[in-house]
């Protein structure tokens, strides 16, 4: 098992690390000093479990967890914190567990035993499902319909992606705007191999869903989508040349 312990207080981090080593002598345990460090390590390496303090400098543990859940194979999240007030939000983020400081060895051991049991179960599931995610023919993304409802959406069903401040939404016929946790830059990278292009600082479009284009001003354009409302999306001068080249504009 590969574990990341994210805690800004070194003494607490050392205590948690030592307890985990006692329960899991064969585990690989890494340490992160704050939220930014935790996110960087967890997105660049495959961890089975990430223990997150909630109140850390930079990104909070809740913010780190929210971003890690956008990964194709997110790690299990265990919040290790001194306050119980974030429990509801933690479990809304699908946290595996929530342990309080100061750590009680018996309570932490329960968490470890559950992690080990789920690992065995997950391995059996992977064999049973034939590695569905590794061989899926249609890439999909989870999107939020409401606070307690999500939809697993095919990439090809998305017409465009829009960012308004920190809120990123997917637009597809048959649904209201669907919220996603990823940033627009992250989605740009994920969607690019499937016919999507960044056309503006706040928009990504499914090129196959663009109906027509008309000139605007100062080298920019308006893209008219082929949805029922003929939605208009700006194509800024910064992205216009790449868009024209990709779509065979002469």
**In the chain, where the domains are located:** 2-133, 140-246
Please tell me the pTM assigned to this model: 0.50
Please tell me the predicted confidence (pLDDT) of residue 126.
46
* Overall residue count recorded for the chain in this entry: 250
Please tell me the predicted confidence (pLDDT) of residue 24.
93
Identify the residue with better confidence: 147 or 182.
Answer: 182
Q: How many angstroms from the chain centroid is the CA of residue 175?
A: 21
pLDDT of 170 above 70: yes
Model confidence over 111-147: pLDDT tens digits?
A: 999 888 876 544 444 443 344 444 445 678 999 988 7
Give 2-133's CATH code, choosing from 2.40.40.20, 3.20.20.70, 1.10.3720.10, 3.40.50.2300.
Answer: 3.40.50.2300
Model confidence over 68-105: pLDDT tens digits?
A: 988 878 899 999 887 666 666 666 666 788 888 899 99
* Tokens standing for residue 138: 């249609």
Please tell me the predicted confidence (pLDDT) of residue 121.
47
Please tell me the predicted confidence (pLDDT) of residue 221.
94
Under 8 Å CB-to-CB from 136, ≥6 apart: which residues?
A: none
Q: Span 178-200, mean pLDDT? A: 91
DSSP H helix total and E strand total for the chain = 8, 15
SS (H, E, C) 63-105: HHHHHHCCCCCCCEEEEEECCCCCHHHHHHCCCCEEEECCCCH
The CATH number of domain 140-246 is 3.40.50.720: no
Pairing relationship of beta strands 210-215 and 167-171 according to DSSP bridges: unpaired
58: DSSP letter: S
- Nearest of 221, 178, 168, 170 to residue 196 by alpha carbon: 170
Model confidence over 40-58: pLDDT tens digits?
A: 999 999 999 999 999 999 8
- Nearest of 101, 88, 90, 85 to residue 68 by alpha carbon: 90
What phi and psi values does residue 75 have, to the nearest 5 degrees?
Answer: -75, 165
3-state SS class at 149: strand
Topology alike, domains 2-133 and 140-246 = no
Unique residue bearing structure tokens 């340490």: 31
Please tell me the predicted confidence (pLDDT) of residue 250.
57
Please count the CA atoms within 13 angstroms of the CA of 70 that sit on its side-chain side.
Answer: 20
């Amino acid at each position: 098992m590969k574990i990341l312990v994210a805690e800004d207080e070194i003494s607490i981090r050392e205590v948690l690390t030592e307890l985990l080593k006692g329960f899991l002598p064969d585990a690989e345990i890494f340490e992160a000093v704050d939220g930014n460090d935790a996110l960087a390590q967890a997105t660049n390496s495959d961890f089975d479990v990430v223990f997150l303090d909630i109140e850390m400098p930079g990104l909070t543990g809740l913010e780190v967890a929210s971003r890690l859940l956008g990964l194709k194979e997110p790690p299990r999240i265990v919040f290790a914190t001194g306050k119980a007030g974030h429990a509801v939000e933690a479990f809304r983020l699908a946290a595996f567990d929530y342990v309080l400081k100061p750590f009680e060895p018996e309570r932490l051991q329960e968490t470890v035993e559950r992690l080990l049991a789920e690992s065995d179960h997950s391995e059996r599931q992977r064999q049973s499902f034939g590695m569905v995610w590794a061989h899926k023919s249609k890439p999909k993304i989870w999107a939020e319909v409401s606070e307690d409802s999500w939809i697993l959406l095919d990439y090809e069903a998305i017409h465009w992606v829009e960012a308004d401040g920190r809120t990123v939404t997917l637009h597809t016929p048959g649904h209201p705007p669907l919220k996603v946790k990823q940033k627009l830059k992250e989605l740009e990278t994920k969607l690019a191999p499937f016919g999507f292009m960044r056309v503006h600082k706040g928009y990504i479009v499914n090129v196959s869903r663009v109906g027509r284009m008309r000139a605007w001003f100062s080298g920019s354009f308006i893209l008219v989508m082929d949805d029922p409302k003929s939605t208009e999306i700006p194509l800024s001068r910064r992205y216009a040349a790449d868009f024209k080249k990709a779509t065979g504009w002469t």
